[in-house]
Amino acid sequence: MIEALHIAQRVTLGAFSLDVTLDLPGRGVSAIFGPSGCGKSTLLRALAGLEANTQGRVHVAGQCWQEAQQRLPAHRRNVGMVFQHAALLPHLSVEENLRYGWKRAKVGHDVLARWVAQLDLAPLLARKPASLSGGERQRVALARALVCAPRLLLLDEPLSALDVQRRTEILPYLEAIRSAAEIPILYVTHAVDEVARLADHLVLLEAGRVLAEGPALELLNRHDLPLALRDDAGVVLEAHAQSRDAHGLMTLHTQAGTLYAHGPEHSQGAALRVRILARDVSLALRRHDDTSLLNVLPATVMALDDIHGGQVQVRLEAQGCPLLARISHRSLERLQLQPGMQLWAQIKAVALLV
């Protein structure tokens, strides 16, 4: 990991204070995750130079943006920023919106052409923002930030104002940006599914402080963090696409075993992530073939944790991979589960999130 982004920021806003120190990778997506009011957006605004009451240090790829009494103003920080709402200039066409910032950045035409192509904006260039869907406006906003060749890209809940269909449409574009942009991307979100799909690194904030940070999959699969207590708790496994049938059922290879899931077509061998929610995992002491459940994995019970609502969270291991299952106390007693027991974890193919 190249520690190209060093952050030590202290911000006081009335009774709230943000105090974080982070060394983040110089490429890929670092997701900033936490409950409302924990300081996610404040951190991004401080990095962009938009918070006046900020102390500390900011170094980006060896360039000092803030240190002691030295503090670059916002207009001199080469930052691209995208908010929940696109905030495009309504009287300008898409192309004019893109060129507005691009001209001031004084970068080559190839940069503009590259992101127009990457985000499939050519058919939209002549249109005004009012005629675009929410997803199209966000694609334009992303391109507007990228055509200025920023040193740092800040995304503040860019999908939160979109419906499920528009979010699904734009996620592949964000994945493409993560692969193509050779800069650090800080991505604020309150949606675990976005973290699971996009994040390389994860920072968990709580009340203005860093609760935990590290590789995204490592933190998403830890049982001792608040993520494991949410209603949508689960694990994320790395997978590779093998095949896809005429009905959209994919065969995936994972360390835990072969899994079946519905999803879009991917080239054979393509690296994917599969999210398995604890509430979608059922347990059986014997393998059953007379069932509609396609995903059946041998697993070992590692621990049993009482959680809210009178439920039990079962920590499992399948071929070295973590799994979680959420069951009732009655099911626990019925199966007489104990740590060390061997059993079968069962998951519907339609429940897997790819």
pLDDT digits (tens), the chain, 354 positions: 445 899 999 999 999 999 999 999 999 999 999 999 999 999 999 999 998 889 999 999 888 999 987 889 998 999 999 998 888 999 999 999 999 989 988 889 999 999 999 999 999 999 999 999 999 999 999 999 999 999 999 999 999 989 989 998 999 999 999 999 989 999 999 899 999 999 999 999 999 999 999 999 999 999 999 998 899 999 999 999 999 999 999 999 999 999 999 988 888 999 999 999 999 999 999 998 899 999 999 999 999 999 988 899 999 999 999 999 999 999 999 999 999 999 999 999 999 988
- CATH assignment of 3-218? 3.40.50.300
Cα–Cα distance for residue pair 62/79, rounded to 1 Å? 15
The model carries a pTM of 0.91
**DSSP letters spanning 103-143:** HHHT--HHHHHHHHHHTT-GGGTTS-GGGS-HHHHHHHHHH
Cα–Cα distance for residue pair 167/287, rounded to 1 Å? 37
Cα–Cα distance for residue pair 8/276, rounded to 1 Å? 35
- Name the residue ranges covered by the structural domains of the chain: 3-218, 234-351
Cα–Cα distance for residue pair 224/236, rounded to 1 Å? 15
Tokens standing for residue 54: 């900020």
CA 218, distance to chain mean position in Å, is: 13
The verdict on domain 234-351 having CATH code 3.40.50.2000 is: no
